[in-house]
Amino acid sequence: MTDIARRFPENPLLSPKSLVPSLEGLKIACLLNPGVFRFDNKIWLLVRVAERPEQSEVIVSFPILTEDGKTEIMEIPLDDADLIATDARVVRYKGVDYLTTLSHLRLLCSDDGIKFHEPEGYSYLYGAGPLQTFGIEDCRVTHLEGKYYLTFTGVSASGVGVGMRTTTDWKTFESAGMILPPHDKDCAIFEEKINGLFYCLHRPSSVDIGGNFIWLAQSPDGVHWGNHKCIIKTRTGSWDSARVGAGAAPIKTEKGWLEIYHGATAEHRYCLGAVLLDLMDPSIVIARSVDPIMVPTEAYELTGFFGHVVFTNGHIVDGDTITIYYGAADEHVCGATFSLQEIFKNLGV
Ligand code: MAN
């Protein structure tokens, strides 16, 4: 199947080897899923850096953070009967789930949107406290009324939830702690208030009844969320049959709020699609992609740390052109552009 994404010929733009590990003894396994924003006349990525020790043939080892921020390495013999290691991303040991890598976030910037470098004077963002001991991931960056809102996945043995920090200068951050409790992720705050309220998309998961659906919520302050509504569900037999989740902040267009979202099958193939939400009441879904707008097709999307994945949580918009930055096979950062008009055509609007 073809898609309507125009991939950068320079892809992958960034790979694990592009950066140095945060700590001796660790290796960057994946560089993926950047939040994207403009600041100081440059294009910035807040990229997820997933690390672990070099793996041996007999032991699985991965870092975790202590509650006061120290890195510890867990080591489990691969032949231990209490170990279940069938997914590259998670292991289960003695009934507890762990991630195989520990993620932090790093700032990169660029003048042309293609070549990125780590600027001096900016710190890495690490998980902090008891709810982020397995790291922080997949940050969305929303610029609203002069402030940047960072919403990311915070992972610990207590579960997977949405953490938030805010900044105006990218050097000092204020933490709002966990704003949406487990199981919840993929939180993207709208870049404008509607009728004086903040809005966000998020993806709680319901294990018994329900599923992995996209929800909409409102807030008076961006921290306390309520009036949750389930607006986008998975579709049986479709490319988004098992999981759907929001990408970056919705894009305001004359036809509605345009959201690029990811959809996955039970076999973990991740594609991208679009939805259009009503401008005044975003709980109203005007249109939704029947066919995906982007499908893993390139070698760097099909094979890697976790193959058959295109996943985005960051973009910049310039007229008709949406440039997305995306994680390919959970291992590299790539870029692609879409024409807004072509997305509208895909949506039938
Ligand atoms: C899933 C995947 C991983 C991620 C965990 C925790 O397993 O999205 O990449 O690390 O969830 O968020």
- Number of domains the chain contains: 1
pTM over 0.95: yes
Over the stretch 123-162, which tens digit does the pLDDT of each residue have? 999 999 999 999 999 999 999 999 999 999 999 999 999 9
Give CA torsion, residues 60, 64, 66, 72, to 10 deg. 50
Atom of ligand 1 nearest to the CA of 50: 10
* Confidence (pLDDT) at 207: 87
* Strands 147-156 and 6-7, sheet pairing: unpaired
Residue 278 has pLDDT above 90, yes or no: yes
Q: Is 50 in the pocket of ligand 1 (CB under 6 A)?
A: no
**Domain-located, residue 153:** yes
Atom 7 of ligand 1: nearest residue by CA position: 89
**Domain-located, residue 131:** yes
**Domain-located, residue 19:** yes
**Per-residue CA distances from 52 to 26, 79, 100, 118, 174 (Å):** 5, 20, 7, 21, 28
b (16+ CB within 10 A) / e for 96-131:
eebbbbbbbbbbbbeeebeebeeeeeeeebbbbbeb
Q: Is 264 in the pocket of ligand 1 (CB under 6 A)?
A: no
Would you place residue 211 in the very low, low, confident or very high pLDDT band (cuts 50, 70, 90)?
very high
The CATH number of the domain holding residue 40 is 2.115.10.20
Domain that includes residue 92, residue range: 6-347
Q: Is 160 in the pocket of ligand 1 (CB under 6 A)?
A: yes
**Domain-located, residue 328:** yes
- Of 247, 109, 229, 125, the residue nearest 190 (C-alpha): 247
**Per-residue CA distances from 14 to 18, 49, 88, 305 (Å):** 6, 11, 21, 14
Which residue type occupies 58? Answer: V
**Domain-located, residue 1:** no
Residue range 277-306: mean pLDDT, rounded: 98
**Domain-located, residue 175:** yes
* Mean pLDDT, the chain, integer: 98
Query: Are 204 and 181 within 8 A, CB to CB?
Result: no
Atom 2 of ligand 1: nearest residue by CA position: 89
The label of the residue with tokens 């894009």 reads 251
105: Cβ–Cβ under 8 A, 6 or more apart, which residues?
Answer: 35, 46, 47, 48, 49, 124, 125, 136, 139, 152
Would you place residue 1 in the very low, low, confident or very high pLDDT band (cuts 50, 70, 90)?
low
**Domain-located, residue 25:** yes
